[in-house]
Amino acid sequence: MKPIYLITILAVLLASLSAIQAAESSAYLENPERMPTFSWDSLPLYVHIRKDTAFTDEEIEHLATFPLITFEKATGHTDAGSVEAGTLKAARAVKKINPDTKILYYRNVIVHYPGYAANGRLDIPGAYLVGADGNDKLIRNKVQAYDLSNKVLRDWWIDAVKDVCSDPSIDGVFLDGVVKIIEPAFLKGVIGEEKKAAELAGYVTMMADTRKMLGPQKLMLANILRARFSDSGLSYIRALDGSYIEGFEGAVGMSRIDYVAQGIRDFQKAAREGYIVAYTGKLGRNLQDADEAPRSAAGNNNRVRQGRNAQNLFDYQLAIFLTCAEKYSYFYLKDGYDAKQSNTWLTRRVEYDRPVGAPKGPAVRDGYTYTREFEHVSVKLDIENETATIVWKPQEQK
């Protein structure tokens, strides 16, 4: 192994350690004003949505019922002229109805998406990763990827986040694309081992600098927890306030059942340590990863479960969540992130308003079966057979 590569790896490890140590004091400091509202009186909910035009009054009223929202890329840019302006317009409208709703601004840490006003200031030499063949559109061969080893680029990215997050209607930033950076194999064959290591080191530094810029009152949530990593990415959460979870059953490198079991293990660990966990479950075929372009039902790899109706699918996803959830865990079930394409957008299931009650303890595991008791509901989850039983206890009439 080349000495320069060893030096680069050492730099990554040292940067990671220092960033983790610097961030832990704020990550574990629970400030009720800073954290989203949480209660077991009903199912704690999250919403992650985008719409290229302005939200209607009805949609704003609906959004204001959630304690935690991420306005994803493309939000409002067609009407408002930019994602920044569209996001701020939506956030201010929600806050006018419910000042307690916590709202996150979407930024991808590696993928260069159009529609942002900040892109007009991106005239930086060496801003993008370039492959050995000279190609700089390395994301799906369509989109450019940021070279995070470039400090000027990192400063531009942080300033772009600051521009929006300094507005009082925005409570923090949602960081997407993190899995692409921490996945060892992603782009390594295209940009080489040394540049891949430098990209990771740049990301770690950028997160520490972003935390410093935002201060202790703003939230940092990342799309990061994945069972594909040995610790599901928990080591990188230390610099953040929590994780969003998608693709929970998308097994990589192991069987589906063991992938889900490991995901449950590390969701539980993150939740018990007090991190925000925004779990999203899929219902239907139109699942779109938050950092991917919209895909058709024919183009994705979702497995169709025979003989499963919508209620069974819902119960299974909810049971996964309840098996793991602690304070500051939130649930979202969807068929896509685009408000104009989703069939679940603006719907509210009766289960969302049923009292859950505090958990009576952690879930008990027996093989691939989990059981857990709450004050008002009992849960049994079987990940081997992909079934669940949820029993809501009768409530006294007042």
Where are the domains positioned within the chain? 3-109+154-355
Predicted pLDDT at 308: 62
Predicted pLDDT at 324: 98
- Per-residue pLDDT, averaged over 157-186, amounts to 97
> Where residue 389 falls among pLDDT bands split at 50, 70, 90?
very high
Q: What pLDDT, in 10s, does the model give residues 55-64?
A: 999 999 999 9
- Per-residue pLDDT, averaged over 66-73, amounts to 97
What is the reported pTM? 0.89
How far is Cα 89 from Cα 85, in angstroms, rounded to an integer?
6
Annotate the chain with three-state secondary structure: CCHHHHHHHHHHHHHHHHHHHHHHHHHCCCCCCCCCCCCCCCCCEEEEEECCCCCCHHHHHHHCCCCEEEECCCCCHHHHCCHHHHHHHHHHHHHHHCCCCEEEEEEECCECCCCCHHHHHCCCCCCECCCCCCCCCCECCCECEECCCCHHHHHHHHHHHHHHHCCCCCCEEEEECHHHHHCCCCCHHHHCHHHHHHHHHHHHHHHHHHHHHHCCCCEEEEECCCCCCCCCCHHHHCCCCEEEECCCCCCCCCCHHHHHHHHHHHHHHHHHCCCEEEEEEECCCCCCCCCCCCCCCCCCCCCCCCCCCHHHHHHHHHHHHHHHCCCCEEEEEECCCECCCCCCCCCCCHHHHCCCCCECCCCEEECCEEEEEECCEEEEEECCCCEEEEEECCCCCC
Predicted pLDDT at 301: 37
Predicted pLDDT at 398: 52
> Where residue 27 falls among pLDDT bands split at 50, 70, 90?
very low
> Where residue 303 falls among pLDDT bands split at 50, 70, 90?
very low
Q: What pLDDT, in 10s, does the model give residues 234-244?
A: 999 989 999 99
Contact call for residues 217 and 31 (beta carbons, < 8 A): yes
Contact call for residues 101 and 64 (beta carbons, < 8 A): yes
Task: Tell me which fold the domain 3-109+154-355 belongs to.
Answer: TIM Barrel (3.20.20)
Mean of per-residue pLDDT scores for the chain: 88
